[in-house]
Amino acid sequence: AVLDALGLDRCAVIGHSGGGPHALACAALLRGRVVAAVSGAGLAPADADGLAWFDGMAASGVASLRAAAAGRATKEAYERSAHPYDPEFTQADLDALQGPWAWFEEVVGPAAAQGPAPLVDDDLAYVAPWGFEPADVRVPVLLLHGADDRVVPVAHARWLAAHLPDAELRVVPGTGHIAVLTAAEDALRWVAEHRPAG
């Protein structure tokens, strides 16, 4: 609907973190309209065969997502309990949030102040079946991941790279969940290189 409203026939899609699976969903399900996809620090399916999904994840993330896996009521109760959430960002992440990505808090802060309902919906989506198989993604995919990511461990990107038909994996040394966004300009160049002629 968005593409039609904008008068566009085709596009590329980019998603970061929980947006990664949504970018892959667009690539899988909007056949002929998505020409390439980028997943930065993206999650693998919660039911990914052979992946220890929680291994390497920060303890607070494990607790939050296990609550979501138990269902909406449990997740909502978990959020009401005011458990502190510590993503255990790397120093590189913190530096990025104080530097070129400082605007991120200007977007996320006001949204989070409205309450946890969107966070609950997001976490429920992360642990739910995707509704498509990675093999259904028939366009080039770039997987960007920070080597030190503890929000979404790099094993998720390695699993995706092994299960997507046409994927390039770039693990960025010395970066975590946020700092990997410093590779965004390279990702945009990759998208331009994978744009079909015409």
User: What is the pLDDT at residue 195?
Assistant: 80
- Pair 38, 191: CB distance under 8 Å: yes
Per-residue model confidence as pLDDT tens digits over 33-46: 999 999 999 999 99
How crowded is the C-beta side of 193, counted as CA atoms within 13 Å? 10
- Tell me what the mean pLDDT of segment 54-78 comes to: 96
Q: In the chain, what are the domain boundaries?
A: 2-43+51-193
User: What is the pLDDT at residue 198?
Assistant: 59
- Domain 2-43+51-193 falls in which CATH fold? Rossmann fold (3.40.50)
User: What is the pLDDT at residue 24?
Assistant: 98
Per-residue model confidence as pLDDT tens digits over 99-141: 988 998 899 889 889 989 999 999 999 999 999 999 999 999 9
